[in-house]
Amino acid sequence: MGNDSDENHLTESDSIFNKSTNTQFDALVNFNHDMSHGYIEGYRIHARIGVQHAIADRNQDYLIYPIVYSYRHHLELSIKRLIVRSDQVLENNYNPPFGHSLVALFSRLKKNIDSIYTDIDKSEFLHASRIVSELHNLDPKGEDFRYHLKTDNKTTTLQGVERLSIESLFNCLEKVSSLLEAVDSDLCHRLELMFTE
């Protein structure tokens, strides 16, 4: 199979836990008690890199799956973190968000946002809700871009979907992500003020 160099064949000494010869290639994990930001940003960065690569190398027909999955997971984690933070701002009882329904999660977040931001225009949030619903309808359980078959192992996923625009997907989901990031920043500021009073 092509090059017979030893570096292309597995040996007994190979392990995913081997130390790098250059530590700049080592990733730091679990260096903070709350690593949610690492997960949230990691999936977003992964999606962005996928979009750039798909556009540059024209392999969008293969990269669409990890791109959409990464964006979807990024948004799910972002929304869940915002629910927790907005519950804290509202001093609600701790009730962590569960499940993978983007519509249900976003609805819960929107209820909190409406209570916190009573005097601002929320039209952008309504547009974000529509985009999140579109993504949810495309992949209701977060599985359709991970697997080609549903859990019954008979039904194919993404039935009726023939084409997706990487450009539209990227533009819409980046705008939603940026909006959620801005809300997150404001909620963090509000929490800091609450804890310093």
Name the amino acid, one letter, at 10: L
Q: What kind and span of H or E run contains 47?
A: helix 36-57
List the domain boundaries for the chain. 33-196
| Angle at the Cα of 29 from the Cα atoms of 73 and 8, rounded to 5 degrees | 90
55-84, pLDDT tens digit by residue?
999 899 999 999 999 999 999 999 999 999
pLDDT at 46: 96
Taking Cα atoms as reference points, which of 105, 85, 40 lies closest to residue 183? 85
pLDDT at 4: 57
Contact 137, 101 (CB under 8 A): no
**Tally of CA atoms within 13 A in the half-sphere of 182 that contains its CB:** 10
Q: How many CB atoms lie within 10 A of CB 187?
A: 21
Contact 155, 125 (CB under 8 A): no
4-27, pLDDT tens digit by residue?
566 789 999 989 888 888 888 888
76-118, pLDDT tens digit by residue?
999 999 999 999 999 999 889 999 999 999 999 999 999 999 8
pLDDT at 30: 83
What value does the mean pLDDT take over residues 127-135? 97
pLDDT(2) > 50: no
